[in-house]
Structure 1
């Protein structure tokens, strides 16, 4: 099995957008909640029962072909910093990181599939892919789910579907979400209208680390809220349609900003570049917001196209737990801010200033209405 140090060393394919258009939609994620039949769910289970579930599920998940040479650990054997690294990589939830004895995590080598055992449910399985690719992420995870179902019996009701700890997950037990980078909608003050329209059609909008977190670096998660009464295919079709519409509005907003006020766009990207290249102390929030502008500059042509992937790697590397693992010791907030600035300066060392010589009016589509066209 893979060691934690190896997991840290290699960014996942979805983190760097390998082989996908991820300029607006960074990632697509599918999560399935499942429980074993005739066993108390984790929140009601006694310590011994949780351990029995772990002993049944862990070898079953580890034995699957895709988990060969993967990472597998009981949570009690991981430090709080190691668990927080996995939260920052979106491989486990904050709730799972708070658990210890009787819980475990199994992660596929490329980090595109991860499994939480004894989180809120006995199994929380997820698949992540770069770009807008929810259907492919679901198909991958559905095959994985079928293999697990061949080895254990799930708690299932013909009328209610998969039984879960939280009633909002009943039915398919599926949560589908995409992470979007929406700086132009934020800069042009249209983000509120667009997100309100998304909420009105029954979808959830959250921050960078999911429920209860704020949007940093102009990153937003959009996901389904209902899981009962509709098929997985229906949920995915609607969600992909809405996310594609939001991405189109962001594209149009980027073009219109360049058309209407190119000097302002140049200024914002230039300031972000200047701060990141020369700051000696920088906190997470400020760093993420400036990296967002650099990422925008890479997409618009102010900076080389590979700047987008570089920013995506830095978005992960400068998180608090990643910094502490990188440094090999616990750090105070002040020490983290100094090391974060040092890492960013080092990674951006060869990045030339934004090129504004050939900025022209692009004549982008004047379509910035928040109407998502969803009945």
Structure 2
């Protein structure tokens, strides 16, 4: 069984974006909600019932080939900081982290697949992939779902589909979501129009850590809102079409900035790099904002290859729980702000400064895409 320290030493490929086109679409995630039949949902269960349910699910999950030598722990065995680190890595939810006895986290060695036992539902499974790979993520998770269904009897109705604690998950029990990096749409003040169009056609827009959270570093999650009456393939296809359009709008916005205001764009990128490299105090919001601009600059050719992946690693490592894990102690916010800046200064020393003098609109050929903002036809 994998230890927590081992899990922390090996970031997943979707965290570093290696060998993937993820300039705008950072990750794709598929989540399935399942419940055992004839057992109360976790929110209505007694502690003994939650423990009994967990004891039924764990052996089935441990027998999965994909979970061989994986991370399998009851949440009562993890401290608050360890659980928050898993939240920051998107391996468990904030709601799951608040639970203890009768709940468990099951994560494969590559951190591409995770199962939450007794969150809002008895079992929430998710697969994460870098870039726009919803179909690949669903294919991997569907196999796990089929294997578990051989050992576990899930609550299912012929008319309604899979029964879930929240009515919005009724049916397929599936949530397909994509994490997007949209700094140019924010900077050019087009983001409101885009997100309004997304909401209008039935998709949800959330912040970095899901419902009720803000968008740090110009990062947005977009997902389906309903699961009843449509197949998994239909939901995924609709979301992929919308995400592809948003990706084009973001690329257009970056190209327009480069063509219309090249000096201002270079100044933004240069200031972000300089501030990250020399500031001595950083809260999360400001640090994410500067890393976001630097990440956009890396995607547009201001920095050597590998810089964008370095930005992704920095975004992960400067989050509060990761900082405290790095320090080996609980820290007050002011202490975290100092250590965050120290880490960023150290990382920036290993990176090349932006090639400001080389940037003109001639270098934007890779961003030259077209398309009007019209998502309503989706």
**Which position in structure 2 is the counterpart of 1:68?**
68
CA separation in 2, counterparts of 1:64 and 1:287? Answer: 40
Gaps of 5+ in 1: none
- Tell me by how many angstroms 1:20 deviates: 1.2
**Match in the other structure for 1:374:** 377
CA distance in 2, matches of 1:201, 1:359: 38
Aligned: 1:148 with 2:148 = yes
**Distance in 2 separating the partners of 1:342 and 1:35:** 45
Tell me how far 1:374 sits from its aligned partner. Answer: 2.4
Q: Say whether 1:197 aligns with 2:197.
A: yes
Please list every run of 5 or more consecutive structure 2 residues that lacks an aligned counterpart in the other structure. Answer: none
Corresponding residue of 1:163: 163
**TM-score normalised to the size of structure 1?**
0.98
For 1:5-61, what per-residue CA distance to the aligned partner results, in whole angstroms no more than 9, with x for missing partners? Answer: 011111111001122100000000000000001111111111111111011101110
User: Residue in 2 aligned with 1:79?
Assistant: 79
* SS in structure 2 at match of 1:357: helix
- What is the CA–CA distance in structure 2 between the aligned matches of 1:102 and 1:190, rounded to whole Å? 45
Partner of 1:281: 281
Q: Secondary structure at the match of 1:348?
A: helix
Q: CA deviation at 1:335?
A: 0.8
CA distance in 1, matches of 2:178, 2:17: 13
- Mapped contact 1:256–1:366 kept (Cα < 8 A): no
CA contact (8 A) 1:3 1:71 kept: yes
Equivalent residue for 1:261? 261
Q: Corresponding residue for 1:239?
A: 239
Aligned length: 375
What SS does the aligned partner of 2:353 have?
coil
Distance 2:320 2:350 in 1: 25
Alignment-derived partner of residue 335 in structure 1: 335
- Runs of 4+ with >4 A deviation: 363-368
Aligned to 1:183: 183
Q: Distance in 2 between matches of 1:358 and 1:255?
A: 15
Distance (Å, rounded) in 2 between the aligned partners of 1:18 and 1:56 = 37
In 2, Cα distance between equivalents of 1:373 and 1:309? 33
SS at match of 1:223: strand
The TM-score, its normalising length taken from structure 2, stands at 0.97
Residues 246-285 of structure 1 show CA distances to partners (whole Å, capped at 9, x for unaligned) of: 0011011111110000011001111100110001111100
How big is the shift at 1:373? 5.9
The separation in 1 between residues aligned to 2:235 and 2:369, in whole angstroms, is: 30
| 1:302 matched to 2:299 | no
- Taking the aligned partners of 1:300 and 1:57, their CA distance within structure 2 comes to 46
Aligned to 2:357: 357
